[in-house]
Amino acid sequence: MGDKNKKWFSLNLNRKVSNETTCGCGKSSGGCGSHNSNPIPNTDSKIKSIGGERTKDGFEQVFDVKMDRRTAFKKLTASLLIGAGAVSTSCSMLTGDETKEKAQIDWEEQFKGNYKLMTDDEKKGTVDRLMRSYELRTGKKINMSSKNANEDVLFGYAFNISKCQGYMDCVNACVEENNQDRDSQMQYIRIHEMKDGRGLDFGEADDNYYHEVPAEGHFYMGTQCFHCDNPPCVEVCPVQATWREDDGLVVVDYDWCVGCRYCMAACPYDGRRFNWKKPEVPEAEINHNQHYLGNRMRKKGVMEKCTFCVQRSRAGKNPACVEACPTGARIFGNLLDPNSTIRWVLENKKVFRLKEDLGTEPKFWYFMD
């Protein structure tokens, strides 16, 4: 987002004059190594920066590049361990075609590139592989999308503190929609129960209550990932496994994440969750309508977070929390559409955001009736 396209107020703290890339180094020369994603179709395969991620698919991003002997050796050792297993399976005479195909998919998935840097074809390729892999493993079909951000869309969210009664329907809907680990009860949304007369005192609030709501003398306030316009979590990621999409969603490539949890330490809003163990969702409860960047099944040791239900929002629907809320406290929409409800709220209500002093520019506003 260049400053000139902006249609909402911002503090302009920490904001660099950007050139339509998500990189924050302020240069366009590509020296920082994070510019190779911009306008993707670059068919001249001779011009490459990092390993030629621009034009090649999957593990070709990694392997089909000009390299000297040293790099080749480096890559060989890196892949040897994982490769050995896959090769031994795929070469065995006793295994069937399906096992071979599975091994092939595992191999390609292990060495595919960063989703952020893939072309649309490559994105489709990995999504197809993941769908096929799921079918081979469970015999069931899923539908996974790799839909990119729509033009002229910037998602925003507003939360009406006066309306929320703390029913937590949003939390349950979110868990079901996004295939979160049931065992550890991972939840993207936290509802804080606050005491009347104490203002917004998060320290006194309880975000883990088990009693009938609305409780006498309390009011409720929900938090989740605020999809900051200047997200600190994105800056700190050492491998660019998390980034801000063009429609403002801050997403994670679960397959690229190395699990260092630096983004978690950097987030001032408790917006990120980590898979401390292998996430488990009973087969019957799995939501089969998935998006690569959204609710597809995660593995252990990677970060995940609220994506404003990218699988729904990019298909023109509201996120699950908005749809589930029985009080109408949650409002979601396109900030660039002057006729949207969210714009109406921003223009007619006294809205505020949390920790504005940090310069993170959340796209999540609170207001009261």
Partner 1 sequence: MGRLKVFKSLVKDSLDVITHGSLRYHIWMASLTLIMLIGMYCYSIQLEEGLSVTGMTDRVSWGLYISNFTFLVGVAAAAVMLVMPTYVLKDIDFKQAVLIGEGLAVAALIMCLAFVVADMGGPSVLWHMIPGIGVFNFPNSMLTWDVIVLNGYLFLNITIPFYILFRHYQGKEAKSKVYVPGAILSVFWAVGIHLVTAFLYQGLQARPFWNNALLGPRFLASAFAAGPALIILVLAIIRNFSAFNIQDKTIKKIALVVTVAAQINLIMLVSELFKEFYAPTHHSESAYYLFFGLHGKTALLPWIWTAIPLNVLATVLLTFHKLRNNFKILYLSCFMLFIAIWIEKGFGLIVPGFIPGPYGKIAEYTPTGIEIGVTLGIWALGAFVFTILAKTAINIELGKIKFKK
Please, which residue, 187 or 313, has the CB nearer to partner 1?
Answer: 187
96 vs 238 by CB, closer to partner 1: 238
Coil, strand or helix at 12: coil
16 binds partner 1 (CB under 8 A): no
Q: Cβ(294)–Cβ(311) under 8 Å?
A: yes
76 near partner 1, judged by CB under 8 A: no
- Is residue 64 a contact point for partner 1 (CB under 8 A)? no
Q: Which one of the spans 147-155, 288-296, 300-308, 309-317 is the region binding partner 1 (CB under 8 A)?
A: 300-308
CA-based nearest residue to 58, from 119, 14, 13, 10: 119
**Contact status: 224 vs partner 1 (CB under 8 A):** no
Sign of the Cα pseudo-torsion (254, 243, 178, 166, in order): positive
| Residue 240 identity | Q
Nearer to partner 1, 18 or 240 (CB): 240
From start to end of 208-349, where are the E strands? Answer: 218-223, 242-244, 250-252, 272-274, 289-291, 303-305, 330-334
User: Which value, to the nearest 10 degrees, does the dihedral of the CA atoms of residues 194, 198, 200, 205 take?
Assistant: -30
Instruction: Please state the closest distance from residue 171 (CB atom) to partner 1, in A.
Output: 15
Binding to partner 1 by residue 237, rule CB under 8 A? yes
Choose one: 40-48, 109-117, 151-159, 161-169; the region binding partner 1 (CB under 8 A).
109-117
Answer yes or no whether residue 207 interacts with partner 1 by CB under 8 A. yes
CB of 260 to partner 1, least distance (A): 6
Asked if 19 interacts with partner 1 (CB under 8 A), we say no
Quick one: 93 or 210, whose CB is closer to partner 1?
A: 210
| Residue 286 is a binding residue for partner 1 (CB under 8 A) | no
Are 363 and 230 a contacting pair, CB within 8 Å? no
Minimum gap (Å) between residue 85 Cβ and partner 1: 11
Smaller CB separation from partner 1, 63 or 344: 63
Give the three-class secondary structure for 138: helix
**Residue 23, both tokens:** 């990189």
Build a one-symbol-per-residue string for 239-278: x at contacts with partner 1 by CB under 8 A, - elsewhere: xxx-------------xxxxxxxx-xxxxxxx-xxxxxxx
- What beta strand segments (E) does 322-363 contain? 330-334
Euclidean distance between CA atoms 86 and 55, whole angstroms:
26
In order, the DSSP letters of 47-97 are --SSTTTTT--TTHHHHSS---HHHHHHHHHHHHHHHHHHHHHHH-SSS-H
Q: Which stretch binds partner 1 (CB under 8 A): 1-9, 50-58, 94-102, 342-350?
A: 50-58
Binding of residue 198 to partner 1 (CB under 8 A): no
Amino acid occupying residue 22: T
- In whole angstroms, give the CA distance from residue 221 to residue 181: 24
Q: How far is the CB of 217 from partner 1 (least distance, A)?
A: 19
Task: List, in sequence order, every residue forming a beta bridge with 106; answer none if it has no partner.
Answer: none
CA distances from 64 to 74, 110, 112 (A): 14, 15, 12
C-beta of 343 vs 363, nearer to partner 1: 363
**Which CB sits closer to partner 1, 207 or 246?**
207
Instruction: Give the up-direction half-sphere exposure of residue 190: CA atoms within 13 A in the CB hemisphere.
Output: 18
Q: Which of 126, 160, 223, 287 binds partner 1 (CB under 8 A)?
A: 223
Q: Say how far apart CA 168 and CA 83 lie, in whole Å.
A: 46
Where along the sequence are the contacts to partner 1 (CB under 8 A)?
A: 23-25, 32-34, 50-51, 53, 62, 71, 74-75, 78, 81-82, 110, 114, 117, 184, 186, 190, 192, 202-205, 207, 223, 232, 235-241, 255-262, 264-270, 272-278, 299-303, 358-360
